[in-house]
Amino acid sequence: MKCPQLTQFLFFSIVLCLIDAQNDLNTIFEKTADWFKEFLPKNAPTLASLPFIPPTTPKMSLLNFSPIFPTPPPISMMMSMSKHGYPPGISRIQAPISFPTFPPLPTFPTPKPFPTLPTSNFTFPPLSANSMKMLPPVNITLDPEALMSVPEIVTHWGYPVEEYNVVTKDGYILTLHRIPYGRNETRSKKLRPVVFLQHGLLCTSSIWLLNLPSQSAGFVFADAGFDVWLGNMRGNTYSKSHLRMDHRDAKYWRFSWEEMARYDLEAMVDGILNVTKQKQLYFIGHSQGTLTMFAKLVLSRGFAGKIRKFFALAPVARLVNVKGMFHTLGETYPQFKLFYEMIGDKEFLPNNIFTRLLTDVLCDRKMKNPLCEDFIYQVSGPDSNQLNKTRIGIYLAHNPAGTSWKNIIHYAQMVKSGKMRPFDYGADHSMKLYGRTHPPEFDLSQVEVPLYLFYSDADWLATSNGVEGFILKMIDQKYIKLSKKLSDFNHNDFLWGLRAREEIYDVIVNVISLDHRKFRIQDGVRRYLEAKSNLSPNSTSDSFLENLLRE
């Protein structure tokens, strides 16, 4: 089997398995008594030989479930528990209704309580793929960060954290995480630059925090004196609530990145500005985070007034010359579309405590499992030798973190067409809505925000052709403040690469710090002129200060 065929086969297999696992997550399979006969020993007593003992109704009690986290559990854990607090697949056991005039049906042992998950070393004996012989046991240590929620990761490293919820115009409830100041600072009324970090496809706010503090963007910006806000788009682990719908409803998942651009960004940006009492913020996006901001700036021209500067990491607009899994996604678009039409609107690649545990075990650094590294590189690009491979289990435990099937189909349409367009519902729908067979492409010439681009030839998704052949050509050059082409950065290196701080984050810190200093000077001058005009309405204007405001 050739490599592309193998990749395609593995991709579809993983997707189908995850769909089955998600559907069966909270289901208890019941079997008849006859099903167990083959497991009974041949000399087992028959039902007729057993003495009749009137059954007694057992006293009801809760299962002895020991959670991983202290009460109350974090958001990420609450989603993987039933409403009664039991682990998925285990519920309160009640004795079947019995009749004293008939012998009792054969009973089976009550399921044991869900065991406390291990927090210390244990052994995992792997099998050799060639000889199927037992190899020496491998010690596996579960990394605590793999099982933590975002607030727990932040407090784990000694930083303050706050959590906010905002509601979109179409009813989705989104979660924002905030690091208001650095680890070695205290709360003050000091005016700080407000920085909003937005994740990419299938990710959460965790992506900015999964390296050591000196290497993670969220912590680096907080220690630089910024007020850091981390967004979560609809459908991921932290944003699965709605005012009127349940996330198990198909209608809930009827969205793509187009709805995220129309509704999610506006709700989060407005919420941040409302809390901080500021008029503008600095936006830092990665991958889909940049795609949604480009679309929002085109859809709502007035939205640009809320964005002081736009830093685009691995910017996505047109998906041209993509490689790896996204190339396979475009090549198999007809099959994906057919499958989507068969299953309807559902969640794609969800994240829960079981996927986190499994991933952390399989991708443990001592296991040296090549599948984990291969999965990352098939999505993002070749190994650039700057990924901290001891933390791959943590990266993959938190991501993928869920999105909609419709969103994945939208990406497949982008790869297939090579265009940045709204979701294509078909020729008939497009003719009624747009008067043409396909939706019109987003016009990036309408983007009017100071833009800083960071991209690389080694990125298999946000390719150089997509950046140089579309973004840089379409946007007015007076708004392109920086276009930095990095060497050997794959798509995930912008987040987790060991060179990311020096080549990206420190550059952003310097730009924001200088700009914020300029803003404070201008704000002081503005207040001075306003106070002067109020005290002396007939006084002459200060042309020097007025010119300073215009710069």
Determine which one of 223, 424, 459, 493 is catalytic: 459
> CB neighbours (10 Å) of residue 466?
23
Note whether 328 and 4 are within 8 A (CB).
yes
Do you find a cis peptide bond into 111, omega within 30 degrees of 0?
Answer: no
Could you tell me which residues are beta bridge partners of residue 480? 451
Report how far residue 1's alpha carbon sits from residue 6's, in angstroms, rounded to the nearest whole number: 6
> CB neighbours (10 Å) of residue 467?
25
Note whether 265 and 290 are within 8 A (CB).
no
Report how far residue 334's alpha carbon sits from residue 326's, in angstroms, rounded to the nearest whole number: 14
Note whether 257 and 371 are within 8 A (CB).
no
Task: Give whole-number Cα distances, 194 to 81, 162, 475, 501, in Å.
Answer: 35, 14, 25, 19
Q: Is 541 a catalytic residue?
A: no
Determine which one of 199, 242, 491, 516 is catalytic: 491
Write the DSSP symbol of residue 419.
Answer: S
- Of 238, 286, 240, 294, nearest in space to 262 by CA: 294
> CB neighbours (10 Å) of residue 360?
23
Residue showing tokens 């007593």? 45
Q: Is 287 a catalytic residue?
A: yes
What residue spans of 369-505 are helical by DSSP H?
370-380, 392-398, 405-417, 427-434, 464-466, 472-474, 493-496, 500
Residue 23 CB contacts under 8 Å (≥ 6 apart), including other chains: none
Q: Is 491 a catalytic residue?
A: yes
Determine which one of 287, 380, 384, 417 is catalytic: 287
Note whether 49 and 112 are within 8 A (CB).
no
Task: Give whole-number Cα distances, 329 to 72, 346, 424, in Å.
Answer: 40, 18, 16
Report how far residue 267's alpha carbon sits from residue 152's, in angstroms, rounded to the nearest whole number: 25
Do you find a cis peptide bond into 109, omega within 30 degrees of 0?
Answer: no
Residue 325 CB contacts under 8 Å (≥ 6 apart), including other chains: 7, 11, 378, 379
| Residues noted as catalytic | 287, 459, 491
